[in-house]
Amino acid sequence: MVDVWLPYGNTEVCLRIPTRNYLGTIGPRDKKGAEDPESEIERSLEEPIGTDRLSDIAKPGEKVSIVVSCVEDSEHAEFILKTILKELNKANVENKDVSIIKGYDPLRGYPAIDDPQLQNDETFRGVELITHNPETENMVEVGKTSFGTEIGLSRMFMESDLKILAGILDPHPYAGYSGGRYCVLPGVSSPETIQQTLSLVTDPMARSGMTKGNPVHENMVEATGLARVDFTLNVVKNSKREVVRAFAGHPDDAFISGVEFADEIYKVPVEKRADAVFVSPGGFPYDVDLYESCMGVNNALDVVKKNGTIILVAECSKGYGNADFRTWIVEARDLNRIERQLRRRFSVAAYVARSFITLLQRSEVVIVSSLPDFFGVGVLNVKTARTVNEAIRYFSDASGRNASVLAISHGSITIPVLVR
């Protein structure tokens, strides 16, 4: 037997797989976190990629806007922004001329910047803290992308003399990766611009880890060019959420270098498909409810055989989560209908429901969770198990003693790549 420990809520569960069936366990190929994260970010600002140093670009008296996409990650946001401000201060840019904008994210909404660490830290005294709300901001049209998207952006951002983007570069379910251009679109974009871009999410190339040929990513890149962004800072972390490397400089060059490095962590080669894949989203907070759990586990479809079995190992301590998500998966199981809705008007709930229904249509699904059995069996029409080993016994009985099993420990941030 091989013991495999999978994250489950704030703990782990042990899956016991017969050696003859075990293909392996995959997860991010973690790199060691930087000993001093702030020093690593300072290094990236001192060695920018494809452009001059920020302290050489900035001029006293200029209005500076910094769009950040990681304020909810308060610890990292604090020293990322603090380090950028120090670099601006070297150019004699005063805090009163700096605005920090919390970018809008359709997956997370637009909570206000109310982190006391930012508000009370002396480093940020005098800096304007803003949350971009696409419904209320004053917008200005800056052009059209090759996809036909009219790009409307925050007037305040566009009227800044120096435009900076800062964020975490993580796998993203439809943009490929977050970071960089994601701070512009959707970060400081108009509702119309966001909706036109998100109508592209049904394209098969709009997926986690994919940038080349991904229309959502490419539209964002074009929008960033139209915005005339001056500088970007992208931070790559490992599965422990430790800062590993920072990439600063030209919006395109620094992002591309960051993605190449992130690929080394998050993209994992797999030699062959398995009859069954046990996948954990990665424990809390990725599996707090079914809605969150389904956000990033569709990559498991790439490494399971046709009509194989996917066992979702997710605690779901808060039940199914988003009420609209529940409505979509219960009342609108027609995938074509959901995709028409997404092209017409994007809804995160519909998008996540589409992911879950795709799992159901292409594989057998078993859920190991704290969800009531009546919900799994009666509402979702999937099999349920109380433990991972109950699930593997069911699978073994149904598929035979020689069926192959693969485990994914952090499905939300693992991108399996089948080696052809």
Structure tokens at 355: 């992911």
Is residue 276 scored above 60 in pLDDT? Answer: yes
Domains and CATH numbers, the chain: 2-27+267-418 (3.90.226.30), 37-237 (3.40.50.11440)
What's the confidence (pLDDT) of residue 117?
A: 57
Partners of 415 in beta bridges: 267
Partners of 153 in beta bridges: 140, 189
What's the confidence (pLDDT) of residue 340?
A: 86
What's the pLDDT tens digit per position in 132-176?
999 888 999 999 999 999 999 999 999 999 999 999 999 999 999
What's the pLDDT tens digit per position in 363-381?
999 999 998 887 776 677 7
Structure tokens at 197: 């871009």
Q: How does residue 81 score in pLDDT terms, banded at 50, 70 and 90?
A: very high
Handedness of CA 317, 318, 322, 328 (dihedral sign): positive
Structure tokens at 186: 């959707």
Which strand (E) or helix (H) includes residue 346? none
Q: How far apart are the first and last CA of the chain?
A: 29
Alpha carbons within 13 A on the beta-carbon side of 26: 26
- Category of 9 on φ-ψ map: left (φ > 0), alpha (ψ -120 to 50) or beta: left
- Category of 415 on φ-ψ map: left (φ > 0), alpha (ψ -120 to 50) or beta: beta
Is residue 290 scored above 70 in pLDDT? Answer: yes
Please give the Cα distance from 294 to 353 (Å, whole number). 8
Q: How does residue 268 score in pLDDT terms, banded at 50, 70 and 90?
A: very high
Residue 368 CB neighbour total at 10 angstroms: 28
